[in-house]
Chains A and B, each alone.
Chain A
């Protein structure tokens, strides 16, 4: 990570004059807020012995390490600051920075504290950009592509890779496209010949031939257009289906952190909406562009060859059409965004009302909700009206401009015809008018289609951004195969942060022997679930070592590691299928006998049989047809069937009644036997079977030992037990731990 921003000349001089012989600047980072908390600049520099705060010209604060207890991040509203906590108990504000620089200063803060403690500072290698290197604009997300600099043609080239397998069909499509363009050029010419040869020249014999030719052209045009439409639809559907399938596969292989940063709506949007937009453009927009670009050049050449003076008149409105479309798009573009935003918020209200209908009714909120909906609905109506008016106005104004061109052609051509100018005939004039429509018609939508292409490619860019995201290391060539995990787990000085600068696990070490049950205890946010995420390698530790059976988990083949793990979580996730499908998801080749053994051990067999369709019962989305306790027992049965060496239990008995909890506890007792188990529970009674308890506080181990040892210690754990006993008394429950 870049923590060595260069100092300006005056600052360098000032700092240099203060350094002791042999003292060097270790790190230096510029903030984006000045010391008086305005958008501006201030710098924090750390030498071997002290922290220096600099404004734009000189050092303003100096804190020697000898006086420093630690440096801490103070999260503020819309900004943060680093504070020096001195040994005498006083505090010194060091530097303010906006939320943009939270990761950098978080790492900086940890590095200073490590230097103060005379430890080697830990600095992550990667440095994700906050601003576009090309245009300097802020990036919507660290390290993401800049939307302002989307390489349109690169995306086009990548899309082309997907249609390569269909190159024969594409070749046929292109040929038929050009045939359709070619035959479109003929009818105006036939008009000229009919007027000049048949009507004025009196050559009646050729009329049938011309009409026949015209009919032929129209028929070929019809056939080629139908063929083009079918072919481009086929190609687009195949391309997008392939893209969607690849996207779905890739999404499942991405690291969990990727999903934490994005809502499911956004990802579903990428898989469905962005690909659909791309498909629509490929079906309608791309053929439009290809046909009309070639048609434009064909017509231009024909017009120039027929009569260059009239052709110049025809071209006069072209700039107006192009610029008009550009202005039109600029007006329409934000309106489309507004419309999207308003539709989204309308959906949101509608969804909330439907999902929360019981609360709406119970609190008599019908009128309030209706008025909220009506307000948003009204806003959407206004925007829709603006869009329609803009569209219609554009269409009509452009039509008027085109008519001006036609008017000019008629005016000058008619003058020349009335003067019996031999270089022009009535047929030429009528053919000209015919060609003008072929030229102007597509031109007015050209810019719009180009912008449409930009949008579709933006969707493509978002799709490719997902495809290009590095997946978890499934297929590392150097990974160690462990076909059978034994269950020894070890953490050695492990540090981890979900976001750089906000450390969640702060140097944790412990060992778990195979078959041992460990209970993780601590307040919300202490780091219990994070430890589980690290064991499962959903995230990778920033530093330190996590090993399973003596191997660094980064070196173990991921499939082997995950096969050796089983989970029963607080929020049981079940797929929308039958009970049997869900049970077998951890072991697809399990026999029915194996399944029944697992469900009996999990106290689930009886309630399954009680269902009308038994094991064939469809459980609905998220297991909607089952109670909380039933879902838990299915999850336990699933884990028993999966038979992992290491079992994760995360609050498996929360939110159930006492009777159900008894069933679940019995099931868990069956499940944990002879397995390494890491269990989390807020209700400490559920950990009574644990061999050891690890008490976490603010990302560190506060205490570790057996239940009796910790109670005797009268520390954090004993305090938690007391609190819970009090709480249970209030609830009228009795727990023994």
Chain B
């Protein structure tokens, strides 16, 4: 028995449309004529980036949320995917070339889908996040995020380097 009535987290994808106009993402709720400029964010960008998309107005209030981008109509979905791609800069590691640890600072040189990068990582308790399915999130000393989808899917040398550093 529900003791407290709780609002649903998602609305149907068909109840909103999203379009990009003049460099801004505009959301229109079903039945309304007003277009609301929105910021499009993910509630779980690290652990479940596919789950949920929220639309925030300029007062930073959520005006709508859908469970998945694919719930939206094709044009809205394309617009949202593009916005998310621009907002979430996440380098996916394809190869770990070198790792070194000096005085508690780990240095990693990696190839990613966004190019090669060398970064420093400290406080592993906070900045190395173990995901399920053998995945890893590494957050460097500046806050940039690197994702290893599956450590076991990397080449043997990369796995060795990951094991050394992580």
Residue ranges of A at the interface with B (Cβ–Cβ < 8 Å):
33, 37-40, 76-79, 81, 83, 88-93, 96, 98-100, 102, 130, 137-141, 147-148, 150, 333-334, 337, 341, 344-345, 348, 455, 458, 461-462
Contacts and interface: CB of A to CB of B under 8 A. Distances in A.
B3 interface: no
Given A90-B23, A458-B103, 10 more contacts: A77-B88, A83-B23, A89-B22, A92-B23, A100-B144, A147-B103, A147-B104, A148-B100, A334-B164, A458-B104
Contacts of B112: 39
A140 B120 contact: yes
B111 to A, nearest CB: 10
A215 to B, nearest CB: 47
Contacts of B91: 39, 78
A137 B141 contact: no
Contact of A334 (B45, B101, B114, B117): B101
B73 interface: no
Contacts of B143: 78, 99
B88 A93 contact: no
Nearest to A347: B125
Interface in B32-72: 45
B9 interface: no
A91 B91 CA distance: 26
B102 A37 contact: no
Interface string B125-156: 10000000000000011111100000000000
Interface in B81-115: 85-91, 100-107, 112, 114-115
Contacts of A92: 23
B90 A77 contact: yes
A39 B94 CA distance: 14
Contact of B88 (A76, A83, A455): A76
Nearest to A345: B125
Nearest to A150: B103
Nearest to B128: A341
Contacts of B45: 77
Nearest to B42: A77
B13 interface: no
B141 A138 contact: yes
Contacts of B141: 138-141
Interface of B: 22-24, 45, 85-91, 100-107, 112, 114-120, 122, 124-125, 140-145, 164-165
- Residue with the greatest number of chain B CB neighbours at <10 A, chosen from A33, A99, A139: A99
B40 to A, nearest CB: 11
B63 to A, nearest CB: 19
A77 B142 contact: no
Contacts of A33: 89
B3 to A, nearest CB: 17
Contacts, number: 102
B22 A39 contact: no
Contact of B105 (A89, A98, A147): A147
Contacts of B117: 39
Contacts of B144: 78-79, 98-100
Contacts of A345: 125
A337 B101 contact: yes
- Residue with the greatest number of chain B CB neighbours at <10 A, chosen from A40, A77, A81: A77
B115 A39 contact: yes
Contacts of B86: 37, 76, 81, 93
Given A79-B89, A140-B120, A334-B164, A99 B142 contact: yes
B144 to A, nearest CB: 5
Contacts of B164: 334
A240 to B, nearest CB: 19
Nearest to B84: A77
A76 B115 contact: no
B132 to A, nearest CB: 13
Contacts of A137: 107, 118, 120
A76 B83 CA distance: 11
Nearest to A331: B164
Nearest to A344: B125
Contact of A76 (B89, B118, B120): B89
A77 B89 contact: yes
Contacts of B145: 77-78
A90 B145 CA distance: 30
Given A99-B143, A140-B141, A148-B102, A93 B23 contact: yes
- Residue with the greatest number of chain B CB neighbours at <10 A, chosen from A89, A102, A138, A141: A138
B142 A98 contact: yes
A211 to B, nearest CB: 51
Contacts of A138: 107, 118-120, 140-142
Nearest to B164: A334
Contacts of B23: 83, 90-93
Contacts of A90: 22-24
16 contacts: A37-B114, A38-B114, A39-B91, A39-B114, A77-B87, A78-B145, A83-B23, A99-B142, A130-B142, A138-B119, A147-B103, A148-B107, A334-B101, A341-B125, A348-B125, A462-B103
A467 to B, nearest CB: 17
A462 B23 CA distance: 47
A254 B22 CA distance: 48
Contact of A38 (B87, B115, B119, B165): B115
A109 B117 CA distance: 26
A348 B120 CA distance: 23
A160 to B, nearest CB: 21
The 3 closest A-B pairs by CB, nearest first: A90-B22, A91-B23, A39-B115
